[in-house]
Amino acid sequence: MNYTEPMLREGSLKDKVFVVTGGGSGLGKAMSKYFLELGAKVVITSRNMEKLEKAKAELEEVTGGTVLPVACDIRNYEEIEAVLKATLDTFGKVDGLLNNAAGNFISPTERLSANAFDTIIDIVLKGTKNCTLVFGKHWINTKQEKSTVLNIVTTYAWTGSGYVVPSATAKAGVLAMTRSLAVEWAKYGIRFNAIAPGPFPTKGAWDRLLPGNLREKFDMKKKVPVGRVGEHQELANLAAYLMSDFSAYVNGEVITIDGGEWLKGAGQMNMLEDIPQEMWDQLEQMIRSKKRK
């Protein structure tokens, strides 16, 4: 067994209906694939219907599951109401929402127009708010016994990060929303959790965060203590657990899956990683000699 393999037992998500925003590409598609393999029916959304139709065909072929593609822009509340309606019309119910869709690009903040900043906030924070409100109200109004929301954030939701300031600002808001509603809406049987992934290569993220030769210049593997980037299946394993009833007592949690990346950046003396082993005798002697004086 290793981290590239599926983790949960067959049928773990049988009869569940999940909506995955941004489910037609990248991590959203990888998580949708695993939900389907575990028996869930999945609604995938994004702005691009052609992409969604292609993803549906591919996902249904490899998993034998059922996918409903619905085009929407998560910035528009009414379009999310239409996603809910399409989900109920097709499957009769909905058990979980995975807020995965996002927008992002690197830029010095002073180069951003007001609209550029707004665009990211509107997709990431307001989009997540729109989906959460539409589906949350539905579950509350219909007195559904249990449901779950999983939000994809980033580790810079709590550290902040230069050059992706709108994204960091918006993801911090999503994190606050996750923890707030985990408490407020627990009485309605709605659980809220989040995942903060480290670097998981996808076309969407890499084209916008590491364009051109930046991906050679800033090798993401070197930032990660375990020495590699993430595999989509290991993220899917965690997401499936958090969306499943196995995690019924996990509520308001954010789970980091980054190989220790953010802590490496945070720990003040972690740069000593670069000291060759053979230098440590000499350094120890230098330190001890000072102590005697």
Q: Which residues are catalytic, by number?
A: 156
Residue 116 touches ligand HXC, criterion: CB under 6 A: yes
Residues 12, 134: Cα–Cα separation, whole Å: 26
Residue 76 touches ligand HXC, criterion: CB under 6 A: no
Taking Cα atoms as reference points, which of 165, 160, 73, 81 lies closest to residue 122?
A: 73
Nearest-approach distance from CB 186 to ligand HXC, in angstroms: 28
Nearest-approach distance from CB 40 to ligand NAP, in angstroms: 18
Nearest-approach distance from CB 204 to ligand HXC, in angstroms: 4
Residue 158 touches ligand HXC, criterion: CB under 6 A: no
Residue 19 touches ligand NAP, criterion: CB under 6 A: no
Residues 158, 162: Cα–Cα separation, whole Å: 13
Residues 56, 50: Cα–Cα separation, whole Å: 10
Q: SS3 letters for 148-204?
A: EEEEECCCHHHHCCCCCHHHHHHHHHHHHHHHHHHHHCHHHCEEEEEEEECCCCCHH
The interface region with ligand HXC, picked from 55-63, 114-122, 221-229, 280-288 by CB under 6 A, is 114-122
Residue window 246-285: x/- pattern of binding to ligand NAP, with contact defined by CB under 6 A: ----------------------------------------
Nearest-approach distance from CB 228 to ligand HXC, in angstroms: 15
**Is-contact 100 28, C-beta < 8 A?**
yes
116 binds, among ligand NAP, ligand HXC, none (CB under 5 to 8 A by kind): ligand HXC
32 binds, among ligand HXC, ligand NAP, none (CB under 5 to 8 A by kind): none
Nearest-approach distance from CB 114 to ligand HXC, in angstroms: 7
CA distances from 210 to 46, 87, 121, 203, 214 (A): 23, 36, 21, 10, 5
**If DSSP codes are grouped into helix, strand and coil, which group holds residue 239?**
helix
144 binds, among ligand NAP, ligand HXC, none (CB under 5 to 8 A by kind): none
- Phi, psi for 121 (deg, rounded to 5): -60, -40
Residue 74 touches ligand NAP, criterion: CB under 6 A: yes
Q: What residues does 255 pair with on adjacent strands? A: 195
**Would you state the structure tokens that stand for residue 286, as one six-digit string?**
């230098």
**Residue 94 identity:** V
Residues that bind ligand NAP (CB under 6 A): 21-22, 24-28, 46-48, 51, 72-75, 100-103, 123, 127, 152, 154, 197, 199-200, 202, 204-205
Residues that bind ligand HXC (CB under 6 A): 102-105, 107, 111-113, 115-116, 119, 154, 167, 199, 204-205, 208-209
